[in-house]
Amino acid sequence: KNQVEQSPQSLIILEGKNCTLQCNYTVSPFSNLRWYKQDTGRGPVSLTIMTFSENTKSNGRYTATLDADTKQSSLHITASQLSDSASYICVVIPQGTSYDKVIFGPGTSLSVIP
Amino acid sequence: DTGVSQDPRHKITKRGQNVTFRCDPISEHNRLYWYRQTLGQGPEFLTYFQNEAQLEKSRLLSDRFSAERPKGSFSTLEIQRTEQGDSAMYLCASSLLAGAHYNEQFFGPGTRLTVL
């Protein structure tokens, strides 16, 4: 069964610190892997999109990496800000997919405190 | 604001009632998606349209659910005879199919449904 798992489930860090969120997936082959940020009570917003052939993609203080051999992706947040407090969702799009096979992870809830 | 909009943002209803949600996509986007998200989980795909055609429906979309996009612009999602298990956030997203390997989806703020 295709799955996307994320860790940790929740994380609390001090403002200004860095953190790394993990995504493990069993989906294979896949077309692309995405990271979304979802503020409480809002819809998800895309942070990065990587195809299966890309290893890293940056968007400001967010850097996503992909290791297709180990089926792992990570999202690194540098110099965290209070506004980074949100849920971060990893999404894997299987190759040649129909949309009911798009798989969202459960998310990691990040809290950045002063 | 030219993003995806959804209405209402919150809906509280009694079990057995019908509810209808509306989604207005980004104006030039030809694809529109509906998702359902429960607390602590990622969104689950329900259905999607390309222009006015409903191209795919998830097995999650029971007979009580129906979605339309009559003119290829806004869409409605109706739930008949609501059940407490329908309580969730209903998210709409839109994208532009333009020959890319993938098309980025832009999400609306969601409609939170509570069934009492």
What pLDDT score was predicted for residue B66?
Answer: 95
* pLDDT more than 70, % of chain A: 94
Report how far residue B92's alpha carbon sits from residue A110's, in angstroms, rounded to the nearest whole number: 24
Query: Half-sphere exposure of B31 toward its Cβ, with a 13 Å CA cutoff?
Result: 18
* The pLDDT value given to residue B35: 95
Identity of the highest mean pLDDT range in A70-74, A96-100, B1-5, B41-45: A70-74
Q: State pLDDT tens for residues A52-69.
A: 889 999 999 999 999 988
- The confidence score (pLDDT) of residue A24 equals 96
Work out the angle at residue A22's Cα, subtended by the Cα atoms of residues A19 and A26, and round it to the nearest 5 degrees.
170
b or e along A84-112 (b: 16 or more beta carbons within 10 Å of the residue's beta carbon)? Answer: bbbbbbbbbbbeebebbbbbbbbbbbbeb
pLDDT, position B73 = 92
Q: Are A99 and B102 a contacting pair at CB < 8 A?
A: no
The reply to whether A100 touches chain B by the CB within 8 Å rule is yes
| Average of per-residue pLDDT across A67-94 | 95
pLDDT at A95: 80
- The number of C-beta contacts closer than 8 angstroms across A and B is 57
Q: Which of A101-105, B39-43, B112-116 has the lowest mean pLDDT?
A: A101-105
